[in-house]
């Protein structure tokens, strides 16, 4: 990005917005509140509706809208690749809609049920979902997607699905394309913005690659080469050669032994994939917190803020959801912090 | 003062639920009713009827669209077919028929797609044959397992090649002979036989599509070509069989398809009222907006069409809902092109000052002032008249702008850039540029002051007293502007900056800052930030906007300067060159400068005018209509 005025605007805006972040302690505190108290604190009590599901859906939509409004405010002074990078980041939710549609079609769910599982997105992200929902099969859905700006994703997905109708292959294709586009935009940046955002995105990619590669290899039993092919380019620590060394091991235990020591900034890598995912996520959050406050690239700070804010919004929603559905405290604790027992 | 959408009324039709589809259809036929989706009656009538109806209609349209996409379009309605009220049972029947029809046709659809893929593969194969024709190898060798090697030939999306090459290198495979164009490439992969399984799994992930090489590939090229041609013919034959099947299906189901479309179109009004219709048990209500002039007509038609009793209540819009009232677009005759340009910016809010006339007058005036030339203006008028069929209503804009150019050309004494043919009625711009700039600035100040006056009146009309007083373009910012201007004029004239102006500036600034502070509910830090920025924007806005109008004079000077440049260039030529340069130069001025001036005028109108006094967030009146309306996204 260029222009001192824009930098100053974003820095100030970000400094003010960062007050919206709750932090781990406040989130924990929310998880200990009763439903009434929690509803007041989170604003859930303002949502009226015939049943809890409707209220939760409205609450989730509003939370998402808050995040998108903040994204729009931060987007305002940005232009060129920086702007495209953030818009691409937001289109993650549209991609989640496509995944939900594909899964719905594979599972032959009724259209109404698929529709309920979709994110309601603002105009600049919204696909014509009517046409996509009104399809019978995954190929037909993907052929309809060929007419949208997701043409290249749909072409790949269609070919793969026709050769091998595995849902996880489709998921991997969609993720691969999403991160490739993100990296593509980041590579067009200059100076600190380029190095810092690539570093940040590299950490996302590391997390994604590690968790999914381990799942594909040791849970689904895929060949190493196939897993390597499905991995995303642009990782920070785990490039393809390094990942190959890890995945050539026969067991998960041995594979974890081959992981580079600097893949986590601190702490030990857990031994189960779910916990590995959580550890990587926590590590990324810590990195994002530092990047938000100290990165020389304002764009990276913005990206870090949006990541943290989205993460917190999801957690707040999860807490409210759990309380409304009467889940036990222990289940909620476990969901929010699965590493607690290990640490203890 | 012309105010937008003054005669709209809010109506509520209380009726029996059974009559809802019929009432919706009546409203749609009249094209005088715009549904109001607000849940005003939620307490008394909690249900929104027709949810199941709507989802069935959507599915039925989806299936009909797919069928029509496969078998070709259906003829347009002749307009004489009577519009029917779709009963629930009929909808179920039509929906079921369309589901069955699509099930019947879907295999054909899938097979046609598969044939398309086969054609593509055949093309790939043919091209491969041509490429390998010069090699002295057995072509059938290019596929399958050999004693030590595993060879695969096929196509792959172009963006996957680099990744595949990298991954295959890790398992000692090679990619050879990358060829082809478009989105896919043909590749030949060679590796060790024992790694064949590894290769298969990677190729699967890479969306690799093997090319099926026929056994005859080791034969003479002509025989191979014959073989490929036979395959192609087979595919063409199958494809034409499928199309003929579809055509037969279409012929035998033509009437039913038309009926389905007619019934679904008739069902659209009821489907589209959505939350504007509410019910509880057998009781229902329909609410929306109707122009007052058509209220009696609506009531009469409902009385004639509904089978059961109903009550129609109407009222004027309340002050808190003014921004929601739809505004009908008026037929404007000569003003039409200007109203189109206004709507490009926004639709006037209900009860807001409609800026079309003011826009037309100031646009034409500013264009003429910036592009004043009798000759150039006349050409613009003529162009408009000659192209009137293409330009349609925009002919008026061309004629008005050209006539204004001619008028200012007369005032400036300019014909095709010649400044000495006629005596200027006012003055030639170049003779006193400073005076021209002063006039432009004076025009800008007048424009902004009128704009602020309109902003204040619009806000008062919509009940926004605080906005009328304190917001940008409000009364206090206008007083601030006037005080600043008065002070500066006095200063320039050597009288110093008057105390009264200073006091007024300070008071208005304090009031503006105070308002910004109190109207913000943000956290402390952000509040300081936004208060400073917003107040600065108000102050800075007036100054920069005033200076923006200097361009009106600048372009009138620019016009003369461009003409001078053309004359200077022409004078360096011989007699023929002189006239050619003059003609080309004038065309250049008319097209390029004319376009730039039009854009600049529009910019002044939109950014210095509309953004100051025009809400432009009104809702255009879109009445419920018979026939299909597409819903692009799910809300």
Which CATH number goes with the domain that contains B321?
A: 3.30.70
Nearest to B167 among A143, A162, A225 (CB): A225
Is B16 part of any domain? yes
Chain B environment of A152 (Cβ under 8 Å) = 159
Residue-number span of the structural domain to which A95 is assigned: 78-188
> What chain A residue is nearest to B103 in terms of C-alpha separation?
A136
Structure tokens, B200: 């298969």
Q: What is the nearest CA distance from B72 to chain A, expressed in angstroms?
A: 17
Is A48 part of any domain? yes
Give yes or no: residues B66 and B185 share one domain.
Answer: no
Give yes or no: residues A164 and A198 share one domain.
Answer: no
Contact criterion met (CB < 8 Å) for B522 and A152: no
Give yes or no: residues A51 and A107 share one domain.
Answer: no
Q: What is the nearest CA distance from B217 to chain A, expressed in angstroms?
A: 24
Put simply, whether A187 touches B (Cβ < 8 Å) is no
Q: Which tens digits make up the pLDDT trace of B98-149? A: 989 998 998 898 899 889 888 887 887 777 777 666 655 566 666 566 667 7
Contact criterion met (CB < 8 Å) for B159 and A136: no
Is B52 part of any domain? yes
Distance CA A205, CA A239 (A): 10
Within B72-216, where are the H helices? 88-132, 161-170, 196-205
Q: Which tens digits make up the pLDDT trace of B259-301? A: 888 888 888 888 888 889 999 989 999 999 999 999 999 999 9
Which pLDDT does position A95 carry in this prediction? 83
Give yes or no: residues B141 and B116 share one domain.
Answer: no
Chain A environment of B110 (Cβ under 8 Å) = 139
Last residue of a domain, one of B289, B306, B328: B328
Q: Which of B207, B212, B520, B523 to probe the A interface (max A CBs under 10 A)?
A: B207
Is A15 part of any domain? no
> Pick from B258, B288, B260: which is nearest to B272 by CA?
B288
Distance CA B513, CA B511 (A): 6
> Pick from B509, B38, B64: which is nearest to B267 by CA?
B64
Is A19 part of any domain? no
Query: How many contacts (CB atoms, under 8 Å) link A and B?
Result: 101
Q: What is the nearest CA distance from B275 to chain A, expressed in angstroms?
A: 15
Give yes or no: residues A175 and A263 share one domain.
Answer: no
Which pLDDT does position B635 carry in this prediction? 29
Is B344 part of any domain? no
Put simply, whether A113 touches B (Cβ < 8 Å) is no
Is A208 part of any domain? yes
Contact criterion met (CB < 8 Å) for A223 and B201: yes
Is A12 part of any domain? no
Whole-prediction pTM:
0.62
Chain A environment of B58 (Cβ under 8 Å) = 130, 134
Do the beta carbons of residue B605 and residue B8 sit within 8 Å? no
Distance CA B56, CA B64 (A): 12
Give yes or no: residues B117 and B143 share one domain.
Answer: no
pLDDT band for B632, please (50, 70, 90 cuts). Answer: very low
Structure tokens, A114: 């698929």
Give yes or no: residues B104 and B131 share one domain.
Answer: no
| pLDDT value at B15 more than 90 | yes
Q: Look at B178 and B606; give whichever has higher pLDDT.
A: B606
Give yes or no: residues B121 and B239 share one domain.
Answer: yes
Give yes or no: residues A66 and A141 share one domain.
Answer: no
Last residue of a domain, one of A188, A209, A228: A188
Give yes or no: residues B179 and B193 share one domain.
Answer: yes
Is A11 part of any domain? no
Last residue of a domain, one of A162, A188, A214: A188
Task: Output the domain CATH number for residue B148.
Answer: 3.30.70.2750
Is B488 part of any domain? no
Stretches where chain A sits below pLDDT 50 are: 1-2, 341-344
Q: What is the nearest CA distance from A329 to chain B, expressed in angstroms?
A: 33
Give yes or no: residues A234 and A254 share one domain.
Answer: yes
Give yes or no: residues A215 and A291 share one domain.
Answer: yes
Query: Do you know the residue count of chain A?
Result: 344
Is B373 part of any domain? no
DSSP string covering A256-272, please?
Answer: HHTS-GGGSSSSPPPSS
Chain A environment of B635 (Cβ under 8 Å) = 120
Number of domains comprising chain B: 3
Reported ipTM: 0.74
- Cα Rg of chain A, angstroms: 21
Chain B environment of A111 (Cβ under 8 Å) = 55, 59
Q: Which tens digits make up the pLDDT trace of A262-303? A: 888 877 888 888 889 889 988 999 999 999 988 899 999 999
> Pick from A232, A256, A261: which is nearest to A245 by CA?
A256
Distance CA A253, CA A214 (A): 11
Q: What is the nearest CA distance from B519 to chain A, expressed in angstroms?
A: 18
Q: Are strands B619-620 and B149-157 parallel, antiparallel or unpaired?
A: unpaired
Put simply, whether A228 touches B (Cβ < 8 Å) is yes
Residue-number span of the structural domain to which B306 is assigned: 7-23+32-40+281-328
Contact criterion met (CB < 8 Å) for B523 and A16: yes
Which pLDDT does position B239 carry in this prediction? 93
The residue-averaged pLDDT of B141-161 equals 75
Contact criterion met (CB < 8 Å) for B59 and A134: yes
SS3 B564: helix
Within B471-523, where are the H helices? 475-492, 499-519
Chain B environment of A123 (Cβ under 8 Å) = 633
Task: Output the domain CATH number for residue A211.
Answer: 1.20.1690
Q: Which of A157, A179, A223 to probe the B interface (max B CBs under 10 A)?
A: A223
Number of domains comprising chain A: 3
> Who's near B631: CB < 8 A, 6+ residues apart?
A130, B58
Give yes or no: residues B112 and B135 share one domain.
Answer: no
> Pick from B207, B122, B117: which is nearest to B156 by CA?
B207
> Pick from B576, B234, B571: which is nearest to B417 by CA?
B571
Within A188-297, where are the H helices? 191-214, 224-230, 240-247, 252-257, 273-294
Q: What is the nearest CA distance from A228 to chain B, expressed in angstroms?
A: 7
Give yes or no: residues A183 and A82 share one domain.
Answer: yes
SS3 A27: helix
Contact criterion met (CB < 8 Å) for B170 and A228: yes
């Amino acid at each position: 990005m260029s222009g001192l005025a824009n930098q100053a605007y974003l820095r100030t805006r970000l400094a003010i917005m960062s007050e919206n972040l709750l932090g781990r302690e406040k989130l924990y505190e929310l998880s200990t509140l009763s439903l009434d108290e929690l509803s007041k604190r989170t604003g859930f009590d303002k949502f009226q509706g015939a049943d809890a599901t409707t209220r939760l859906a409205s609450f989730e939509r509003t939370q998402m809208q808050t995040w998108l409004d903040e994204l729009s405010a931060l987007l305002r002074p940005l232009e060129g690749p920086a702007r495209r990078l953030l818009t691409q980041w937001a289109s993650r939710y549209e991609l989640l809609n496509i995944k939900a549609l594909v899964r719905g079609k594979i599972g032959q769910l009724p259209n109404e049920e698929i529709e309920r599982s979709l994110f309601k997105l603002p105009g600049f992200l919204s696909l014509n979902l009517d046409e996509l929902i009104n399809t019978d099969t995954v190929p037909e859905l993907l052929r309809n997607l060929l007419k949208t700006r997701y043409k290249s994703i749909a072409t790949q997905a269609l070919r793969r699905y026709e050769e091998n109708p595995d849902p996880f292959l489709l998921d991997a294709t969609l993720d691969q394309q999403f991160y490739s586009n993100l990296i593509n935009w980041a590579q067009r940046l200059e100076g600190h913005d380029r190095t810092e955002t690539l570093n940040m995105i590299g950490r996302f990619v590391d997390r994604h690659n590690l968790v999914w590669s381990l799942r594909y290899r040791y849970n689904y039993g895929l060949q190493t080469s196939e897993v390597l092919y499905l991995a995303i380019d642009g990782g920070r620590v785990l490039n393809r050669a390094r990942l190959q060394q890890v995945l050539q091991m026969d067991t998960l235990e041995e594979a974890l032994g081959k992981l580079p020591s600097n893949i986590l900034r601190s702490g030990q890598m857990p031994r189960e994939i779910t916990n590995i995912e959580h550890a990587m996520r926590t590590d990324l959050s810590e990195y994002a917190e530092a990047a938000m406050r100290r990165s020389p690239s304002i764009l990276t700070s913005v990206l870090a803020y949006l990541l943290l804010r989205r993460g917190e919004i999801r957690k707040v929603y999860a807490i409210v959801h759990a309380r409304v559905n009467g889940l036990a405290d222990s289940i909620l604790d476990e969901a929010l912090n699965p590493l607690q027992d290990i640490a203890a | 003062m012309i105010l937008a959408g003054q005669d709209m009324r809010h109506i509520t039709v209380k009726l029996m639920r059974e009559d809802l589809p019929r009432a919706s259809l009546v409203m749609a036929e009249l094209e005088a009713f715009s549904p109001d989706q607000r849940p005003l009656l939620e307490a008394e009538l909690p249900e929104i009827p027709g949810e199941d109806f709507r989802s069935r209609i959507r599915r039925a349209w989806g299936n009909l669209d797919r069928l029509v996409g496969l078998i070709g379009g259906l003829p347009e309605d002749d307009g004489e077919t009577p519009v029917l009220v779709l009963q629930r049972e009929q909808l179920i029947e039509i929906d079921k028929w369309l589901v069955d029809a699509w099930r019947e046709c879907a295999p054909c659809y899938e097979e046609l797609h598969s044939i398309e893929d086969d054609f593509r593969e055949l093309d790939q194969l043919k091209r491969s044959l041509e490429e390998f024709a010069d090699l002295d190898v057995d072509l059938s060798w290019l596929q399958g397992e050999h004693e030590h090697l595993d060879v695969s030939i096929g196509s792959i999306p172009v963006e996957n090649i680099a990744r595949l090459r990298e991954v295959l290198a890790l398992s000692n495979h090679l990619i050879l002979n990358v060829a082809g164009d478009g989105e896919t490439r043909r590749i030949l992969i060679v590796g060790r036989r024992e790694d064949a399984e590894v290769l298969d799994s990677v190729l699967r992930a890479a969306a690799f599509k093997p090319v099926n090489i026929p056994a005859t590939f080791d034969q003479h090229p002509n025989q191979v070509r014959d073989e490929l041609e036979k395959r192609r013919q087979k595919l063409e034959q199958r494809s034409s069989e499928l199309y003929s099947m579809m055509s037969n299906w279409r012929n035998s189901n033509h009437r039913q398809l038309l009926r389905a479309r007619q019934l679904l179109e008739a069902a659209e009004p009821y489907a589209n009222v959505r939350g504007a219709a509410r019910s509880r048990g057998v009781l229902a209500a329909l609410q929306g907006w109707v122009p007052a002039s058509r209220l009696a007509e609506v009531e009469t038609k409902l009385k004639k069409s509904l089978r059961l009793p109903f009550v129609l209540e109407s009222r004027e819009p309340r002050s808190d809902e003014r921004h929601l009232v739809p505004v009908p677009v008026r037929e404007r005759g000569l003003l039409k092109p200007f109203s189109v340009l206004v709507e490009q910016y926004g639709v006037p809010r209900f009860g807001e000052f409609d800026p079309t006339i003011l826009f037309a007058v100031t646009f034409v005036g500013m264009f003429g002032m910036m592009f004043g030339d009798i000759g150039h203006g006349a050409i613009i008028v003529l162009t408009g008249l000659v192209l009137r069929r293409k330009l349609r209503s925009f002919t008026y804009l061309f004629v008005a702008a050209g006539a204004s150019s001619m008028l200012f050309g007369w005032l400036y004494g300019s014909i095709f850039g010649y400044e000495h043919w006629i005596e200027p009625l006012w003055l030639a711009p170049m003779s006193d540029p400073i005076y021209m700039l002063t006039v432009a600035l004076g025009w800008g100040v007048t424009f902004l002051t009128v704009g602020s006056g309109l902003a204040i009146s619009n806000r008062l009309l919509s009940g926004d007293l605080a906005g009328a007083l304190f917001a940008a373009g409000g009364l206090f910012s206008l007083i601030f502007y006037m005080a600043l201007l008065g002070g500066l004029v006095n200063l320039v004239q050597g009288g110093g900056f008057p105390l009264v102006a200073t006091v007024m500036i300070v008071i208005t600034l304090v009031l503006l800052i105070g308002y910004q502070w109190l109207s913000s509910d943000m956290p402390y830090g952000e509040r300081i930030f936004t208060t400073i920025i917003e107040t600065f924007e108000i102050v800075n806005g007036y100054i920069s906007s005033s200076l923006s109008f200097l361009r009106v004079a600048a372009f009138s000077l620019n016009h003369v300067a461009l003409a001078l440049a053309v004359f200077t260039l022409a004078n360096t030529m011989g007699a023929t060159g002189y006239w050619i340069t003059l003609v080309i130069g004038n065309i250049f001025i008319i097209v390029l400068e004319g376009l730039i001036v039009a854009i600049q005028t529009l910019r002044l109108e939109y950014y210095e005018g509309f953004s100051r006094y025009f809400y432009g967030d009104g809702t255009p009146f879109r009445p419920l209509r018979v026939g299909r309306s597409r819903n692009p996204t799910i809300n």
